[in-house]
Structure 1
Amino acid sequence: MASSKPTLVLIHGAWHVPRSYSKLTNALKHAGYEVHVPRLPSMNEARPPNTDLSTDTDLIHSYVESLVDTGRTVVAIMHSYGGQVGTHGLSGLGLASRSERGLPGGVSKLIYMCAFAMPEGSSMVGKVKKFGHEHLLPIAFDFAGDDSCLTRDPKTLLVGEGVEAAEVDAYVSSLVRWNGKCMYQEVEKCAWREIPVAYIYTTADMTVPLDYQKDMVQKIEAEGQSVKTVELTTGHCPNLTMTKEVVDAINDWVHGQA
C-alpha cells in the first residue's frame, strides 16, 4: 500500500550537494517519507561557471512537475540559497492551483529552512545590502576571478556548534564551489503567494542572520500569507546540527499539528 505521507523534495543550499544532507534524508526516510534531493546545476563545479539561478529553477520546476504529474503531493524543504530556487521554480505547481486547472497532485507546503524567501525582483545580495552588510561579502566568501566562490570558514559560518568535530569535517568535505553570480540574480516568480508556508528560524546563524530571516517572514505576512514558524538554537545547517528537531517540525507541519 502506498504511503499517505507526501513526497519530500529537498532543494539544497549553495556549496552543498545531495550527500551533504545524508543525515537529514536518512532520518526522513526512517520516518516513512519518500525523499528526493536533486543536485542543482550551479553546483556542477564548471570553471568558469556555466549555470546559474535560472538553470537551477528550470531543473527544479521540471523535476517537481514530473512528480506531481503522477498525482503525488509534494512538500518542498528549501535550505539557504535553495529558497531562491524554490520560490521561483515552484511557482504554478501549488496543489490548489493545479486542482483548479484539473491537474493531479501538486506542492502542498513550502518549508524554508533558514532560507531566502523573498518576493519577485529580490536577490540575496539585495537583502545583504538592505542590512548594510555588503562589505562583509568578500570577508565571508572567497570569490575567484570567474565569480565562482567558496565560503571562507564553513566550520564557523555554516555549521557552528552542535556536533562532533569528525562529523563537521565529513560535512565540510562534501561542499563544492558554487557560481557566486547567483547571489546577485533576482527571482522572477513567487511560489509562496499560492502555496502555504512554514519557516525554520536558526537563531545562531552566521550566514543568513536571524534578522534577515525575520525580515523575510514579516514581508510574506505583510502580503497576506500566514507563516508557521519554529526557532532552533543553532547555526546555518540545522539539517546536521539539529536533525531530530528539523524532522519533528516537518512532521508537525505535514500532519497539521503546528
Structure 2
Amino acid sequence: MASPKPTILFIHGGWHTPATYSKLTSALESAGYTVHLPPLPSVSPTRPPTANLATDTAIIRAYAEDLLAAGHTVLAIMHSYGGQVGTNALCGLSSAARAAQGLRGGIAHLMYVAAFALPEATCMIDKVREFGHEELLPLAFDFADDMSVVSRDAKTLLVGPVTAGDEAEAELEAYVGGLVRWNGQCMYDKIERCAWREDVGVTYVHCTRDMTVPFDYQKSMVEGMRAAGREVRTVEVETGHCPNFTKTAEVVRAVEGVVRKMGE
C-alpha cells in the first residue's frame, strides 16, 4: 500500500504573494497534494515596511508547528528568499527530532527552489558579496529610502524566458502585475538557525538561467551544505528564477521525485 502523500508547506519568495503561485499550487493539488502557502508579512505595499526576516520566521514557524501538532508529515518547499525564512524557522521540527520526543509529524524534507540555503549568521547579501557582485545591486533592484524594493526589470531578471506568443505574453503581464513591494532589509537580515544541518532530507532545484539568484550562487550553496556533511540531491530546470510560473510541470515532477525518495 502506497504511503500517503506529505503535506506541502510552501514558503514563498520576495515580491511574491500566495496568488502568484496559483499555477503551481493548482498543479500540485491536481496531483493529489494539500498545499499550505501562508503570506509573508515582509511582502507588502505598506510604507515604510513593518516586517522583516524575524517577522516572517515567526509566522512560518507557528504555521509549521500547527501542521505538525495535527500530525502532518511535511515537505517544505522554499523559493528564493523563502529559503532564508525556512532555514531559520524550521529548526528542531524534523520528523527525526520529533520522533525522538515521542511526537507525531515533522518536517520530512527540505526542498530549495533557486533558494538561499545558507549557514547561521549569514544573509543573502553575503552570497552576493562572496561573488563580488554588490555593486550590481542597484542595476537589478530599485531600493527606496525606506528600504522597500522592487525589481527594475521583473520580466527579464526575475521571471526570465517564457514561451513566445500573445497568450504567454498576457500571462506574463498578469504574473508580473501581481508582484508586490518587499522589504529589502530582509536581504541583509542574518539567519540565526540552520534547519538543513539536521537529520532531514534535502533537495535543491537549480534554475540554470536564473538572473536573480544566479546558477553559480545556487551551486555554491549546495557545495556549502555538502561540505558541512549534508547529502543534497539536485535537480536542474532550464529556466529563470520563477519555475513555478515558467516550468510548472517540471517543478511538479521534481516534487514527485522527492516524494518517491521519501518513501524509500
Normalization by structure 2: what TM-score? 0.95
Q: How far is the alpha carbon of 1:255 from its aligned partner?
A: 1.3
Q: How far is the alpha carbon of 1:46 from its aligned partner?
A: 1.6
Q: Does 1:184 align with 2:188?
A: yes
Partner Cα separation in structure 2 for residue 170 and residue 219 of structure 1: 36
Q: Does 1:173 align with 2:177?
A: yes
Q: How far is the alpha carbon of 1:87 from its aligned partner?
A: 0.3
1:253 equivalent in structure 2: 258
Q: How far is the alpha carbon of 1:190 from its aligned partner?
A: 0.4
1:144-176 deviations in Å (ceiling 9; x for gaps)? 110101011000001111241111111101100
* Residue identity in the other structure for 1:28: L
2:36 equivalent in structure 1: 36
Partner Cα separation in structure 1 for residue 44 and residue 159 of structure 2: 22
* Residue identity in the other structure for 1:143: F
Partner Cα separation in structure 1 for residue 45 and residue 195 of structure 2: 28
Q: 5 Å matches for 1:25-64?
A: 25-64=25-64
Length, aligned pairs only: 256
2:246 equivalent in structure 1: 241
Q: Does 1:15 align with 2:15?
A: yes
Structure 1 gaps, min length 5: none
1:221 equivalent in structure 2: 226
Q: 5 Å matches for 1:28-107?
A: 28-107=28-107
Partner Cα separation in structure 2 for residue 4 and residue 253 of structure 1: 14
Classify the secondary structure of the residue corresponding to 1:41. coil
Classify the secondary structure of the residue corresponding to 1:43. coil
1:158 equivalent in structure 2: 158
2:208 equivalent in structure 1: 203
Which moved further from structure 2: 37-46 or 16-25? Answer: 37-46
* Residue identity in the other structure for 2:137: L
* Residue identity in the other structure for 1:234: T
* Residue identity in the other structure for 1:80: S
Partner Cα separation in structure 1 for residue 66 and residue 150 of structure 2: 32
1:178-227 deviations in Å (ceiling 9; x for gaps)? 00000001110000011210000011000000000000000000111100
Partner Cα separation in structure 2 for residue 83 and residue 45 of structure 1: 22
1:63-99 deviations in Å (ceiling 9; x for gaps)? 0110011110000110000000000001111000011
* Ranges of 4+ aligned residues in structure 1 off by more than 6 Å: none
1:140 equivalent in structure 2: 140
Partner Cα separation in structure 2 for residue 239 and residue 250 of structure 1: 12
Partner Cα separation in structure 2 for residue 231 and residue 112 of structure 1: 12
* Residue identity in the other structure for 2:195: A
Q: How far is the alpha carbon of 1:102 from its aligned partner?
A: 1.3
Normalization by structure 1: what TM-score? 0.97
